[in-house]
Amino acid sequence: MISVVTGGCGFIGSHIVDKLLEEGHEVRVIDNLSTGRLANLEHQKDNRNLTIFQEDIRNKKNIESIFENVDYIFHMAALADIVPSIQKPEDYYTSNVLGTFNVLECARFHNIKKLVYAASSSCYGIPRVYPTKEDAEIKPQYPYALTKRLGEEAVLHWGQVYGLPVITLRLFNVYGTRSRTSGTYGAVFGVFLAQKLAGKPFTVVGTGEQTRDFTYVTDIADAFYTAAKSDIVNETFNVGSGGTYSINYLCELLGGDIIHIPKRPGEPDCTFADITKIEQTLGWKAKVTLEEGVKRILDNIDYWREAPIWTPENIGEATKDWFKYLGK
Ligand code: UDP
């Protein structure tokens, strides 16, 4: 079996690569290393079944040949984070929409078994119903959410029109080892872990009573693998943990002092996936509890030593455009 993993040097992508290599696949990674890190696959460097191509999915000509004889495609490459997506929408459009278009066009001319797309639960915006089902209203709140949604629509459209066997997985608050440490202010785990290492207080947004459906990354990798292997095509599934947990509880598990920062516009008070569809159709269910996942992270906390340390002051500066554009 031959698999292509776009974004395979990234946080979630590298865990999918691990899973595929474990299952005996030949794996070709496409990553431009803009936010992905070779260090994330360092432990696989002697594995002869792994090849890493440092290419950008925005350049179709440069990636076409990598798809020769491919069986499975895992399309993970994308730009993440809210604020930079507001500041540089064109970068997000070209990476997340045009990049997806290029991958679909590369896939179309090969007899593939499945393409699985990493879609985002941010497509639901501020949901009206919890747990949220796949047929809930689509309401992206910022360019990152919009571009991931447009990519998802393109994937499903290639399924509909060209018969490409596709599945899109809407991921809910993925956390785990190798979560991004890049310069931008982003997902809460990276922020809190670097603060813990520096002995600084956790910057809790609002009351900290808001909850998130934190889903452990190896469970996500299993969901991708299960979706690839199944006979199901042209479907969308939520991928969540089955629960939703407050930020205050997360702080308790991580252990440390707290400081409060203002609530941000456009943020839901809760994310919580209804996972009935994936459980019943694909037989997938998350295995790692939040308590166990946090423990695994704390055992590997040194990874975040290079991550930027966020304080209420530099967060205020970094999120100015968030309040400016979404706070109207
Ligand atoms: N959060 C927080 N402090 C931070 C960053 C995030 O309390 O410095 C909270 C945020 O309010 C949200 C949760 O952590 O409830 C997850 O935030 P993240 O940006 O990781 O994901 P998203 O809000 O997009 O679900």
Tell me, yes or no, whether 267 and 133 share the same domain: no
Residue 277 belongs to some domain of the structure: no
CA of 164 to the centre of ligand 1 (A): 35
Ligand 1 atom nearest residue 191's Cα: 8
Q: Quick check: CB of 100 below 6 Å from ligand 1?
A: no
Domain that holds residue 149: 2-174+216-239
Q: Which pLDDT score, from 0 to 100, does residue 289 have?
A: 98
Please check whether residues 78 and 194 belong to one and the same domain. Answer: no
Are 203 and 120 found together in one domain? no
pLDDT for position 328: 78
Which pLDDT value is given to residue 306? 87
Same domain, yes or no, for 60 and 185?
Answer: no
From the list 284, 267, 266, the residue with the least C-alpha distance to 275 is: 284
What residue type is 162 in one-letter code? Y
Task: Supply the residue whose CA is at minimum distance from atom 5 of ligand 1.
Answer: 188
226-251 burial: b if 16+ Cβ within 10 Å, else e: bbbebeeebbbbbbbbbbbbbbebbb
Residue 211: CB within 6 Å of ligand 1? no
Domain harbouring 113, CATH code:
3.40.50.720
What is the per-residue pLDDT for 99? 98
Output the six-digit token pair for 246: 């407050």
Ligand 1 geometric centre to CA of 172 (Å):
12
Indicate which residue's Cα is closest to atom 10 of ligand 1. 205
CA-CA-CA-CA torsion sign (219, 225, 227, 229) = negative
Could you tell me if 144 and 111 lie in one domain?
A: yes
Ligand 1 atom nearest to 264, measured from its CA: 11
Q: Are strands 26-30 and 2-6 parallel, antiparallel or unpaired?
A: parallel
Active site residues: 144
Query: 204 and 95: one domain?
Result: no
Span between the terminal Cα atoms of the chain, in Å: 50
- List Cβ neighbours of 83 (8 Å cut-off, separation of 6 or more): 184, 185, 318, 319, 321, 322
CA distances from 103 to 75, 109, 141, 184 (A): 8, 11, 25, 26
For residues 170 and 167, what is the distance between their CA atoms, to the nearest angstrom? Answer: 10
DSSP annotation of 70: -
> From the CA of 205, how far away is ligand 1's center (Å)?
7
The answer to whether residues 72 and 21 belong to one domain is yes
Let me know whether 303 and 235 are in one domain. no
CA 293 to CA 82: how far, in whole Å? 24
pLDDT at 190: 93
Please report, for residues 63, 220, 257, the alpha-carbon distance to residue 106 in angstroms, rounded to integers and kept in the order given: 8, 25, 49
**26 shares a domain with 75:** yes
Q: Is residue 282 part of a domain?
A: no
- Find out whether the beta carbon of 173 lies less than 6 Å from any atom of ligand 1: yes
**Ligand 1 pocket check for 204: Cβ under 6 Å:** yes
Residues 126 and 253 in one domain: no
271 in contact with ligand 1, CB cutoff 6 A: yes
Relative to the CA of 310, which ligand 1 atom is closest?
A: 8
Q: Which two tokens stand for residue 77?
A: 């490459």
Query: Domain for residue 279, yes or no?
Result: no
Query: Is residue 133 a part of any domain in this protein?
Result: yes
20 inside domain: yes
Query: Given ligand 1 and candidates 12, 212, 214, which is best to mutate, with the most ligand atoms within 8 Å of its CB?
Result: 212
Question: In Å, how far are 107, 153, 256, 304, 309 from 195, measured between CA atoms?
Answer: 42, 37, 9, 9, 6
CA dihedral 142, 143, 146, 148 (to 10 degrees): -120
* pLDDT value, residue 183: 74
Same domain for 185 and 41, yes or no, is no
Q: Which residues, other chains included, contact 144 with Cβ-Cβ below 8 Å and sequence gap of 6+?
A: 79, 80, 81, 82, 85, 92, 96, 120, 122
In CATH, what number is assigned to the domain containing residue 316?
3.90.25.10
| Same domain membership, residue 254 and residue 150 | no
Q: What pLDDT sits at residue 172? A: 98
Ligand 1 atom with the smallest distance to the CA of 186 is: 19
Inside any domain, residue 205: yes
Q: Is residue 276 part of a domain?
A: no
Number of domains composing the chain: 2
Averages of pLDDT over each 10 residues, the chain, 328 residues:
98 98 98 96 98 98 98 98 96 98 97 98 97 98 98 98 98 94 86 96 98 98 98 98 98 98 93 98 98 97 92 95 91
**Ligand 1 within 6 A of CB of 123:** no
CA nearest ligand 1 atom 3, residue: 204
Residue 278, domain member (yes or no): no
